[in-house]
Amino acid sequence: MSAGGPARAHRLRDRAARTFLVGSACGWVGLLVLAPLAAILYGAFREGPARFFSSLLGDGGRHALLLTIALAALAAVVNGVFGTLIAWVLVRERFRGRALLNSLVDLPFAISPVIIGFALLLVLGPHGWLGPLVEASGTKIVFAWPAMAIATIFVSIPFVIREVALVLEQADLDQEQAAYTLGAGAFTTFIKVTLPNIRWGLVYGVLLTTARSLGEFGAVLVVSGGIANATETGTLFVFRSLDDRRDLAAYSMSVALAGLSLALLLAMEFVKRRVRRNSGAAR
C-alpha cells in the first residue's frame, strides 16, 4: 500500500467517523445505564454505610430479603429439575402434542407479569377455578407464600428449558445410545452421560432463573397482598417504602437486590467463558 495523499485522507476520515460513532455509543450507554446506576448508589450510601445497613434490614427488610432469596432458590430448584426434564422431552422424544408443548415454553416471556399474577388469582383465588380444591386442602395459597412461589416459578420457566435444549441439540446422541446399548438403564445413562454433557447449560439456565426471580415484582405484587414481615419480598419492600416516603430504605433494598443480581451476572460471564473453552476443546 502506498502512503499517498488520498489513502491517508481516507484513513483520517475513517478514524474521525469511527471516533464519532464509538463516542456516541459510549455516551448513550453512559447516559442511559451508568447515570441512573450512579444516582441510586449515591442515594443509598449518602448517609454512610451504617445507615445503609440499618435501613436495609430494619422494618421488615430482613424478612423481605430472606423471603426473596428463598423464593428465588425454590424457583431455581423447581425450574432446574422440570426445565431439564421438559428440554429433554422436547429434544429427544417424538410424541403427539409436542409442537403445542413447544409453543407453551416461551409463553411466560410473552405475558406481562401483572397478567401472570392476575391469571393465577383466577385459578387459585377464593372464587377461582381451583378455589374449592384449595379450600378443602386447608392451606392458604393466595396472599401467602405458595402463590408467590408459583408466580416466581411461572415467570422464569423458559430460561432452563432454552439453555438446556440448546446444549442437548448439539450433544452427541451416540454416547447416550452406546451407554444404553451396553446395558445401562435410562436413569444411569442420564446421570452418567447426559448430565455431564448439559452441565454448563443447566448452570447457566439456573443462574438466569435466579437473577430473574430476585427481581420479580408485578406477578408477586398481585398474588401476595404485600403484608410486612409475612408476604413481602424485596421488590415489594421497595414499593411500600416509596409509598411511606422512607426513601433511604427503598434505595438500600434496591442496591442490595441489584447487587445480588449483578453477582449472578458476573458468575454467568464466568460460566460463559467455561462453556466457550469446553466447546472449543471438544472441536
Partner 1 sequence: MTRRSLLPLLAATFLGGFVALPVVAVLVTAFSDGPAAFMAALAAPAARNAFRLTVATGALVAVVNAVAGTLLAWVLARSRCFGRGLLDALIDLPFAIPTLVTGLMLVILVGPQSDAGAWLEARGVRVLFTWVAIVIALLFVTLPIVVRAVLPVLEEIDLDQEDAAATLGAWPAFTFRRVILPAILPAVLQGALLTFARALGEFGAVVIVAGNIPHRTLTAPVHVFGAVESGDLVGASAMSVVLIALSMSLMLITDRYRRAWLAPRTEGR
Q: What's the closest the beta carbon of residue 50 comes to partner 1, in angstroms?
A: 21
CA 71, distance to chain mean position in Å, is 12
- Give the C-alpha distances (Å, rounded to integers) separating 192 from 98, 153, 195, 226: 26, 28, 6, 44
Beta strands in 163-202 (DSSP E): none
Q: Look at residues 275, 269, 267 and name the one whose alpha carbon lies nearest to residue 198.
A: 275
Of 200 and 251, CB closest to partner 1: 251
Q: Dihedral angle at the C-alpha atoms of 134, 138, 140, 141, nearest 10 degrees?
A: -30
Vertex 132: Cα angle to 129 and 133 (nearest 5): 90
Q: What's the closest the beta carbon of residue 74 comes to partner 1, in angstroms?
A: 14
Of 167 and 264, CB closest to partner 1: 264
Of 230 and 267, CB closest to partner 1: 267
Q: What's the closest the beta carbon of residue 49 comes to partner 1, in angstroms?
A: 19
Q: What's the closest the beta carbon of residue 55 comes to partner 1, in angstroms?
A: 14
Of 53 and 109, CB closest to partner 1: 109
What cell does 24 get? 456516541
Of 92 and 199, CB closest to partner 1: 92
Of 57 and 242, CB closest to partner 1: 242
Alpha-carbon distance of 283 to 275, in angstroms, equals 12
Q: What's the closest the beta carbon of residue 212 comes to partner 1, in angstroms?
A: 8
Q: How many CB atoms lie within 10 A of CB 71?
A: 22
Alpha-carbon distance of 93 to 54, in angstroms, equals 53
Q: What's the closest the beta carbon of residue 232 comes to partner 1, in angstroms?
A: 13
